[in-house]
Homo-oligomer: A and B are copies of this chain.
Amino acid sequence: MAEYSISQLAKEFDVTTRTIRHYEDLGLLAPARRGQTRVYSPADRTRLRLILRGKRLGLSLDDSREIIDMYEPGKTNVDQLKKLIDAIQLQRSKLNQQLDDISKLLKDLNQAEADCIEALKSNGNP
């Protein structure tokens, strides 16, 4: 089986069909049609997965579209390729910043949790 309906994808990724159509409106998806009905390929499904991953990382849909377009080898122009590499490096530096942020936040959370547990010990049985 190599195709999906919109509601199948919606169920699988836990979003609404409205959301999926919205992504299409913005040009992030372009499923085939059988008559009027959308038919999604595995590639479409992958794109959706990438979009949602980007969302979890706080990317805008525009950002996601840019990134996803990076994966497609359709760009023949040399300048375009160079611009792409620049964009990739920029995204990479953002991601590294995020990694740093996350590790700091995790440390903070650990500390906060330890404090809570400590407070429970001294406060739990007065």
A contact set with B: CB distance below 8 Å? 50, 53-59, 67, 70-71, 73, 75-76, 78, 81-82, 84-85, 88-89, 91-92, 95, 97-99, 101-102, 104-106, 108-109, 111-113, 115-117, 119-120, 123-124
Write out the residue numbers on chain B whose beta carbons fall within 8 Å of the beta carbon of A81. Answer: 116, 119-120, 123
Known A78-B124, A98-B56, A113-B88; contact A73-B119, beta-carbon cutoff 8 A: yes
Within the assembled complex, what's the spacing in Å between the Cα atoms of A75 and B118?
12
- Name the residue on B nearest A73 (C-beta): B115
Contact of A112 with B98 in the complex, beta carbons under 8 Å: no
Q: Which of B59, B85, B95, B105 is the one whose CB lies under 8 Å from A95? A: B105
- Name the residue on B nearest A119 (C-beta): B81
- Name the residue on B nearest A120 (C-beta): B81
- Name the residue on B nearest A108 (C-beta): B71
Within the assembled complex, what's the spacing in Å between the Cα atoms of A60 and B98?
15
Known A56-B98, A57-B98; contact A70-B112, beta-carbon cutoff 8 A: yes
Write out the residue numbers on chain B whose beta carbons fall within 8 Å of the beta carbon of A76. Answer: 119, 123
12 intermolecular pairs with C-beta atoms under 8 Å apart = A50-B108, A53-B104, A57-B101, A58-B58, A70-B112, A71-B108, A73-B115, A81-B123, A82-B120, A95-B106, A95-B109, A99-B99
